[in-house]
Amino acid sequence: MRSTEQAPPTAQNPTKFDIALRGGRVAFNATDIFHDLDLTLQAGSFTCLLGPSGVGKSTLLRYFAGLVEGDVSGTITCSDNIPLAGRVAYMAQQDLLLPWRTVHENVVLGAVLRGEKPKHDKASHLLSEVGLADAAHLRPAELSGGMKQRAALARTLMEDRPVVLMDEPFSALDPLNRLRLQELAARVLRGKTVLLVTHDPLEALRLGDRVHVLSGSPARLQDAITPKGQSPRNIAVPDILAQQAELLGQLGAEPSEGAA
Amino acid sequence: MTHQINHQTKSKPLSERRWLMLARPLIIVVALIATWQVLVIVTGAPKYMLPTPADVWTTLIARHDVLFDHAQYTIAETVIGLFAGAALGTLAAIPMALFSPVRFWLMPILLVSQAIPFFALAPLLVLWLGFGLASKIAMAALIIFFPVTVAFFDGLSRTETGWLDLGRTMGASRWRLLTHIRLPAALPAFASGFRVATAVAPIGAVIGEWVGSSHGLGYLMLHANARVQIDMVFACLLILCAFSITQYFIVDRVLRAALPWQPDSLKPAQ
């Protein structure tokens, strides 16, 4: 990693409100994906959502983003009594970079889409922070997978929203790039309220302050597992490995498979 | 970290590829003319049925003033028709993609319009719009309208949903989602439709000229055919071919230059 990527001592502009989902329900084709679902995202904390494929993790995340249409009920309230809508930034597994815009132009997309004047200095600063200063003028097709996801992270940070929703943002990367991006994300998102969907228990334990498993049909949330220490955590310590075994157990693995 | 920037693989030296690029059309043209000549010799066809390349070349040179005069009309009809048809197609595709009621009402009308044989429509257009340019431009525009509309509509309705989700969380209005995401994303599809339109546009103009006109290569061909001046018919055909190909390549070049981000898996083979 670059030597400049050191954790800042304190978070900038930390998020100060909790978000509470109560009685969340989403159904597709008359089948409930989940119902009676309660989840609280604590102010400035990093929550990870684990679960088998197709269980509804992404749907729950998209519910928070206000992107689920159709048969939906439940309430989302923020402790500061301001609606959540308009205060979230969204990052998906695909980089979702627009191929006709350069990296820099992609990073300032939000302002352009709102008809605001883009803050080009801030975009350049964020791009150098994610290690893409030299690639700002390139189009996405000229970037590697890791660089694209860095650009997507810079675009997410550019929005400067108090809440960041991430849907398996690192799962398409090779292990080394994934590790680097996890470290980067942990550093730059510190102080924000983050909800991260992942299928990797170690990623969840590395980054999450609270790790929930979502499983079953209709899906239910298990009680949170709370790894100790500040993220990004060293995942080679016994505590974390024990919690990984616990998570694998909750995900339905046989004890012999999940034992660390 | 190192930046992994893709470079085109260069399997052959550049000069060799460029040489082949320039020589290839020439080789094709020479081969076609040779085949034509062989056909004349083998069949022993008389000049009033199948003239030799040399006969046609002589006519091209001798009658160049007449040919040039009429070609101007056909080219003008085609080019104006192409842009008029593409503009109409664009104007139809955007509201169809944006508003479902427009889509439900316009789609059947579009399909019905395609069921009408355009050749049969040409006399009506001449009746309504006269012998001049207007009826031929309308004919070309009508033929172009459908491929452009369908291709552009298709592109507009297949926007990557992730991009739209992203735009919505960023607080984009419906209008800005259209202008900054859906429209640019549909441009490659529009370009495909426009390429097809470019190829068929001269057909519309020539059909219009056949049915009723006082100018144009179609008019010239019809009269030359009636007087058994088959070398003249061939000369007209050659000019039409040359114009169609030139127009297609210009359009293709412009579209490629305008959409440099468009993935093009065939590029290195040029």
pLDDT tens figures, B149-208: 999 999 999 999 999 999 999 999 989 999 999 999 999 999 999 999 998 899 889 998
Percent of chain A exceeding pLDDT 70 equals 93
User: Is the pLDDT reported for residue A100 higher than 90?
Assistant: yes
Across the A:B interface, residue pairs with CB atoms under 8 Å apart total 78
Euclidean distance between the first and the last CA atom of chain A, given in angstroms as a whole number: 29
What pLDDT does B14 receive?
Answer: 67
Contacts of B184 in chain A (CB under 8 A): 98, 100
Contacts of B264 in chain A (CB under 8 A): none
Does residue A71 contact residue A28 with C-beta atoms inside 8 Å? yes
Please give the Cα distance from A176 to A255 (Å, whole number).
Answer: 29
What pLDDT does A10 receive?
Answer: 46
Buried b (16+ CB within 10 A) or exposed e, A241-260: eebbbbbbebbeeeeeebee
Domains, in order of start, for chain B: 59-261 (1.10.3720.10)
What pLDDT does B18 receive?
Answer: 80
Q: Do B172 and A114 touch (CB under 8 A)?
A: yes
Q: What is the mean pLDDT of residues A117-131?
A: 92
Closest-CA residue of A relative to B166 is: A90
User: Is the pLDDT reported for residue A258 higher than 70?
Assistant: no
Q: Which of A200, A192, A118 is nearest to A161 (CA)?
A: A192
For the residues of B226-241, what is the DSSP string, one character each? HTT-HHHHHHHHHHHH
User: Is the pLDDT reported for residue B83 higher than 90?
Assistant: yes
Choose the closest CB to B3 out of A2, A86, A147. A147
Interface test with A, best of B169, B181, B190 (most A CBs within 10 A): B169
Domain definitions of chain A by residue range: 19-87+163-258, 97-160
Phi/psi at A23 (nearest 5 deg)? 60, 35
DSSP-assigned beta bridge partners for residue A47: A195, A210
B241 exposed, middle or buried (CB, 10 Å; 0-12, 13-18, 19+)? exposed
Please give the Cα distance from A155 to A91 (Å, whole number).
Answer: 9
How far off is chain B from A239, nearest CA to CA, in Å? 32
Please give the Cα distance from B227 to A84 (Å, whole number).
Answer: 80
Give the residue numbers in A contacting B (CB under 8 Å), as ranges: 2, 62, 65-67, 86, 88-90, 92, 94, 96, 98-100, 109-110, 112-115, 131, 134-135, 138-139, 141-144, 146-147, 159, 165, 180
Q: What is the mean pLDDT of residues A127-154?
A: 91
Three-state helix/strand/coil letters over chain A? CCCCCCCCCCCCCCCCCCEEEEEEEEEECCEEEEEEEEEEECCCCEEEEECCCCCCHHHHHHHHHCCCCCEEEEEEEECCCCCCCCCEEEECCCCCCCCCCCHHHHHCHHHHHHCCCCCHHHHHHHHHHCCCHHHCCCCHHHCCHHHHHHHHHHHHHHCCCCEEEEECCCCCCCHHHHHHHHHHHHHHCCCCEEEEEECCHHHHHHHCCEEEEEECCCEEECCCECCCCCCCCCCCCHHHHHHHHHHHHHCCCCHHHHCC
Confidence of residue A12 (pLDDT cuts 50, 70, 90): low
**Residue linked to tokens 């990052």:** A91
DSSP B47: T
Whole-angstrom CA distances from B262 to A16, A106, A112, B151, B269 are 43, 16, 22, 16, 16
What pLDDT does A146 receive?
Answer: 87
Choose the closest CB to B176 out of A62, A115, A142. A115
What fold characterizes domain A19-87+163-258?
Answer: Rossmann fold (3.40.50)
Please give the Cα distance from B131 to B212 (Å, whole number).
Answer: 6
Contacts of A62 in chain B (CB under 8 A): 165
B263 exposed, middle or buried (CB, 10 Å; 0-12, 13-18, 19+)? exposed
What pLDDT does A15 receive?
Answer: 86
At B10-52, the pLDDT tens digits run 455 667 778 888 888 889 889 999 999 999 999 988 888 899 9
SS3 B142: helix
Q: What type of residue is B3?
A: H
Confidence of residue A188 (pLDDT cuts 50, 70, 90): confident
What pLDDT does B38 receive?
Answer: 93
What pLDDT does B82 receive?
Answer: 94
What pLDDT does B69 receive?
Answer: 94
Residues 6+ apart with CB under 8 A from A218: A32, A33, A34, A35
At A82-93, the pLDDT tens digits run 888 889 999 988
B145 exposed, middle or buried (CB, 10 Å; 0-12, 13-18, 19+)? buried
